[in-house]
Structure 1
Amino acid sequence: MKNFILYMILMLSFAVSAQEKDKTLPKANDEYAEKNFVEAEANYRISHSKFPKRIVAPFNLGNAIYKQNQAAEAKFAYATALTNTKSRVQRHKVFHNLGNVFMKEKNYTNAVEAYKNGLRNKPSDEETRYNYALAKKMLKDNPPPKDDKNKDKDKDKKDDKKDGEKDKKDDKEKDKKDDKGDKDKDKKDEKPKDEGKPKPKPSPSGISKQRTENLLDAVNNEEKKIQDKVNAQKVKGKPVQTEKDW
């Protein structure tokens, strides 16, 4: 009897956990709709950290980052969303927006592949089909450089360098002894150009320092608001986006 009661308690706990509502996501959606993309990004990150297996937060996170003209970083959020997709409809939306990112980066080869994968999951989508055709046209008009040409250029540069080194070799050997004393002296007096100057440190994930500070402030503010209003928040509508919405 005791084992049965314990079993029922565990099952009830699992059921409650499975039905737990994401109370941060609706607020992030509202902020996105109001074009407060930094605050929306902060809340989407909080939502994703609490529910890492769900797809909506990382997908909308990618959209919020994309709206801040951080296309390269948006790709990572979309990639995370793609690993959690469970249906063809979801995969279609993620691939469509990935295509938009690649188009913005003028990476037309990957844009074509992304839109193609989007159409494989939803062949009837005319917007994706149009973007796919546009990406193919841009790729045709702007083909990537061929490796053979690059190899030839590198070979010519190496040959020129060899010839120059050969011509200068005799002169260098002749003047080597005379210049040795002067070079040693110069090395003692020489000071690196950057010595004493602080070097800028890159921020995590390649995000600019100012944007990182704004994001951290937004996270701290939203965490405090969540604690105060956690029982008062209600699920609201999803954000209206120019990209594929969730």
Structure 2
Amino acid sequence: MKFLNIKIVAFLFLIPFYVIAQNENDDIRAGNRLYNNKKFTEAEIEYRKALQKNNQSFEANYNLGNSLFRQEKYKEAFEQYKSAVPMTENKKRLATGFHNIGNSFMAGGQLQDAIEAYKMALRNNPADNDTRYNLAYAQSLLKNQQNQDNQDNKDNKNNDQNQKQNEPEEQPENNQQEQQQQQPQMSKENAQQILNALEQDERDTQEKAKKTQTRGSRRVDKDW
């Protein structure tokens, strides 16, 4: 993920004059050398060795988080960064801790949480341009995501309205088809019988008319 600017801590301190601290710092330095050579799994081992000797070491917790992040173990990396932050009051260390907490959230798609973490980093180190860039990037992604969600919701609402509007138009058509199917079909024989009956009625009417005309003529032609 090129947009994420991982910050590694390679703090150089006056080495305490007792054996345990000496061994702890040796492990951290060994881990840093491996990390810089992109041997992240081996670096993780060295940082864990340092934590076994001093689990309150900010450097060991923080750099272990970096090695886990590079292995794409984002949840584990987040836990290490979260453990490291309370172990220091140094502003720049706090800034780097929150910066990489933000990176862990970004990798997990938790944009709002990432934004808050980057803001915390900038409160502790306002001059950090890497954090400022990541913050702007996360805000841009979140805005695009919200716009897309709003558009999807609008499209779904329009689709629902269109579906409801179409239903009344379709239903009468279906009912009409059902009614047509339910109506009995007339056979050719029945149709012919009705036609014959109508023709017979017409013949009867014409016959009656002829008889009426004949009777009328007779009355006209009657001798006086």
What TM-score, normalized to structure 2? 0.55
Paired letter, 2:70: K
Q: Deviations 1:96-125 (Å, cap 9, x if unpaired)?
A: 111111111111010100000000001111
- 2:81 counterpart of 1:78: yes
- 2:124 counterpart of 1:96: no
Residue of 124, 128, 141 corresponding to 2:127: 124
- What is the alpha-carbon distance in structure 2 between the residues aligned to residue 109 and residue 88 of structure 1? 23
- 2:27 counterpart of 1:24: yes
- What is the alpha-carbon distance in structure 1 between the residues aligned to residue 146 and residue 48 of structure 2? 37
Report how far residue 43 of structure 1 moved. 0.9
Paired letter, 2:87: N
Within 5 Å, which residues of 2 pair with 1:220-239?
Answer: none
Contact 2:118 2:132 in 1 (8 A): yes
- What is the alpha-carbon distance in structure 2 between the residues aligned to residue 84 and residue 57 of structure 1? 11
**Aligned equivalent of 1:67:** 70
Q: Deviations 1:58-90 (Å, cap 9, x if unpaired)?
A: 111000000001111100110111121221110
Structure with greater helix percent? 2
Relative contact order higher in (CA < 8 Å, ≥ 6 apart): 1
Report how far residue 20 of structure 1 moved. 3.1
Q: Deviations 1:132-183 (Å, cap 9, x if unpaired)?
A: 111111111223989xx9xxxxxxxxxxxxxxxxxxxxxxxxxxxxxxxxxx
Within 5 Å, which residues of 2 pair with 1:36-185?
Answer: 36-143=39-146
Report how far residue 19 of structure 1 moved. 8.6
Which stretches of structure 1, 4 residues or more, deviate above 2 A after TM superposition? 15-20, 143-146
Indicate the structure (1 or 2) with the bigger Cα radius of gyration. 2
> Per the alignment, in what secondary structure is the counterpart of residue 23 of structure 1?
helix
**Greater Cα offset, 120-129 or 16-25:** 16-25
Change (3 A) 1:18 1:113: farther
Paired letter, 2:71: Q
Paired letter, 1:20: A
- What is the alpha-carbon distance in structure 2 between the residues aligned to residue 27 and residue 70 of structure 1? 21
Q: Which runs of 5+ in 2 are unaligned?
A: 1-15, 154-224
Percent pairwise identity: 35
Q: Deviations 1:198-240 (Å, cap 9, x if unpaired)?
A: xxxxxxxxxxxxxxxxxxxxxxxxxxxxxxxxxxxxxxxxxxx
Paired letter, 2:140: K
Paired letter, 1:134: Y
Q: Which runs of 5+ in 1 are unaligned?
A: 1-14, 150-246
- What is the alpha-carbon distance in structure 2 between the residues aligned to residue 116 and residue 52 of structure 1? 27
- What is the alpha-carbon distance in structure 1 between the residues aligned to residue 45 and residue 21 of structure 2? 21
